[in-house]
């Protein structure tokens, strides 16, 4: 990059990294599947510095990849063609919680765990939670419209977003801060930038809605003989348990892998097959009786383990949360985070292994997800990183079942080829028009979200 001296002037020499060893962690994605070549990483400490960096890059038409915690799972946060990496993690301040309004303003690089902590200190809670909470950032979760473990109760990241500050592709700063919960004055830029995956602007700050805490929690791990029974139970729980906070889903193979990888005891020692639901209820008073009654009313439960104290609850959650890491131990997975109508969940789970096996007989398929939302994380290990025949076949199956090729991770670079399976030509044309309006020179995350245009 010939404008490195200019970038150094803006952020100081300590915050321009160029040495391959120093930039390695910024160039490779969390799954290990995507790795960019040598490049420069710039780490602004203020919004003005971020704006000056973008302006400098715009003037030389230098492409930029915005990066938060680099926990994204679709290869969107790494510089695959040697783009400049704009790392936002030094922008990590969280303002005092607005206790009266139930909102907080946080910098883009603040970790979700830090936002959760700040909210809790002020007697509130943040509605988004995900296993990558210690590294995933406010900006990254907005850019990907992250879902996670509490979507069922509080909605996705977009549902928490009240206002935003961002740097446009020409270096201008736009802000809707301080934000009002009600403000119906035209295009809502926070909503538009949410889910834009760094292609329209660089988010530098956000105003987030907080929710009342639900400090009393109980969880139960349920085993069912079939996925059909588990899916039916997830629907029944949504109807029958007002304090329901999460219904997570996994299968025997994933559970066995987690137990083996992390040397955990099996929850039901005798069980060798099944579909599992991890159910959590949360309320301002102890929900255990309601949870127990709701579980008792379910059909097809083969085994139950209930956790009433936080220690046992954390132990049950580990079986679900350690799936992602355990699968990564097997090898870099192809991660196909899809959604189908809940009524089609069991069919998807039944058909995917056969679809994978027909193409790659030695590959392994791991399935888990957020059952009540119809969101299944299909992970396939044992595939070449560039061989996407399995991805193609699975996405087509998902589309046939009326589903989406991305439930919560976004499109990134991994799925952009298949965007037409999820969006109509008219929608994609509108996307392209927005991209051109916001980023006419195409410098912001050029290899993400939109498929290459046909020539």
Ligand X SMILES: Cc1cc2nc3c(=O)[nH]c(=O)nc-3n(C[C@H](O)[C@H](O)[C@H](O)COP(=O)(O)OP(=O)(O)OC[C@H]3O[C@@H](n4cnc5c(N)ncnc54)[C@H](O)[C@@H]3O)c2cc1C
Q: Enumerate binding residues for ligand X (CB under 6 A).
A: 30, 65-73, 76-77, 88, 108, 130-132, 135-137, 139-141, 143-144, 146-148, 197-198, 202-203, 324, 408-409, 412, 445, 448
Give the nearer residue to ligand X in terms of CB position, either 217 or 377.
377
**Beta carbon of residue 296, minimum distance to ligand X (angstroms, whole number):** 29
Distance from C-alpha of 328 to C-alpha of 180, rounded to nearest angstrom: 42
- The greatest distance separating any two alpha carbons of the chain, rounded to the nearest whole angstrom, comes to 67
Give the nearer residue to ligand X in terms of CB position, either 301 or 413.
413
Q: What is the dihedral of CA 326, 330, 334, 336, to 10 degrees?
A: -30
Beta bridge partners of 280: 219, 246
**Cis before 384? omega within 30:** no
Give the nearer residue to ligand X in terms of CB position, either 205 or 364.
205
Distances (CA, A) of 218 to 29, 182, 301, 317: 35, 34, 18, 11
Give the nearer residue to ligand X in terms of CB position, either 113 or 304.
113
Distance from C-alpha of 89 to C-alpha of 136, rounded to nearest angstrom: 10
**Beta carbon of residue 134, minimum distance to ligand X (angstroms, whole number):** 10
**Beta carbon of residue 110, minimum distance to ligand X (angstroms, whole number):** 10
**Beta carbon of residue 273, minimum distance to ligand X (angstroms, whole number):** 26
Give the nearer residue to ligand X in terms of CB position, either 138 or 301.
138
Q: What count of Cα atoms within 13 Å lies in the side-chain half-sphere of residue 68?
A: 31
Give the nearer residue to ligand X in terms of CB position, either 131 or 302.
131
Q: What count of Cα atoms within 13 Å lies in the side-chain half-sphere of residue 110?
A: 22
Which residue matches tokens 């991660």? 335
Q: In sequence order, what are the residues at sequence separation of 6 or more whose Cβ sits closer than 8 angstroms to the Cβ of residue 113?
A: 133, 134
**Beta carbon of residue 39, minimum distance to ligand X (angstroms, whole number):** 14
Q: Is residue 258 classed as helix, strand or coil in its secondary structure?
A: helix
Give the nearer residue to ligand X in terms of CB position, either 130 or 356.
130
Q: Which of 87, 91, 85, 88 has its CA nearest to residue 64?
A: 85
Distance from C-alpha of 254 to C-alpha of 349, rounded to nearest angstrom: 13
**Beta carbon of residue 302, minimum distance to ligand X (angstroms, whole number):** 27
**Beta carbon of residue 428, minimum distance to ligand X (angstroms, whole number):** 18
Q: Among all residues, whose Cβ is closest to ligand X?
A: 140
């Amino acid at each position: 990059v010939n404008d490195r001296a200019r970038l150094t002037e803006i952020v100081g020499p300590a915050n321009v990294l160029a040495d391959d060893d120093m930039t390695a962690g910024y160039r490779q994605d969390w799954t290990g599947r995507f790795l960019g070549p040598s490049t420069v990483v710039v780490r602004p400490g203020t919004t003005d510095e971020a704006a000056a960096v973008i302006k400098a890059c715009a003037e030389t038409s230098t492409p930029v990849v915005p990066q938060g915690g680099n926990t994204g799972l679709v290869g969107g946060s790494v510089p695959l063609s040697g783009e400049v990496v704009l790392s936002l993690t030094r922008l990590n301040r969280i303002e005092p919680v607005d206790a009266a309004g139930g909102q907080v303003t946080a910098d883009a690089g603040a970790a979700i765990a830090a936002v959760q902590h700040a909210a809790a200190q002020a007697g509130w809670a943040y509605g988004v939670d995900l296993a990558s909470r210690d590294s995933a950032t406010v900006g990254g979760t907005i850019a990907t419209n992250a879902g996670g473990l509490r979507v069922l109760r509080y909605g996705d990241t977009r549902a928490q977003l009240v206002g935003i500050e961002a740097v446009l592709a020409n270096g201008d700063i736009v802000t809707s801060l301080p934000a009002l919960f009600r403000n119906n004055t035209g295009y809502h830029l926070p909503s538009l930038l949410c889910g834009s995956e760094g292609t329209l602007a660089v988010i530098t700050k956000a105003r987030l809605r907080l929710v009342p805490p639900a400090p009393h929690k109980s969880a139960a791990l349920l085993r069912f003989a079939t996925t059909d029974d588990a899916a039916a139970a997830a629907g029944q729980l949504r109807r029958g348990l007002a304090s329901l906070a999460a219904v997570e889903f996994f299968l025997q193979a994933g559970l066995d892998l987690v137990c083996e990888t992390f040397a955990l005891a099996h929850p039901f020692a005798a069980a060798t097959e099944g579909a599992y639901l991890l159910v959590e209820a949360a309320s301002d008073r102890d929900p255990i009786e309601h949870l127990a009654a709701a579980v008792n009313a379910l059909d097809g439960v083969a085994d139950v383990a209930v956790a009433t104290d936080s220690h046992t609850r954390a132990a049950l959650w580990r079986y679900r949360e350690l799936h992602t890491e355990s699968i990564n131990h097997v090898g870099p997975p192809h991660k196909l985070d899809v959604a189908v109508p809940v009524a089609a969940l069991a069919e998807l789970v039944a058909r995917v292994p056969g679809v994978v096996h027909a193409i790659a007989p030695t590959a392994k398929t791991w399935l888990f997800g957020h059952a009540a939302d119809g969101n299944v994380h299909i992970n396939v290990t044992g595939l070449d990183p560039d061989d996407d025949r399995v991805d193609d076949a699975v996405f087509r199956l998902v589309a046939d079942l009326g589903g989406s090729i991305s439930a919560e991770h976004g499109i990134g670079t991994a799925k952009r080829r298949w965007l037409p399976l999820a969006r109509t030509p008219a929608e994609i044309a509108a996307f392209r028009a927005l991209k051109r309006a916001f980023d006419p020179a195409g410098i912001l995350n050029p290899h993400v979200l939109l498929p290459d245009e046909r020539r």
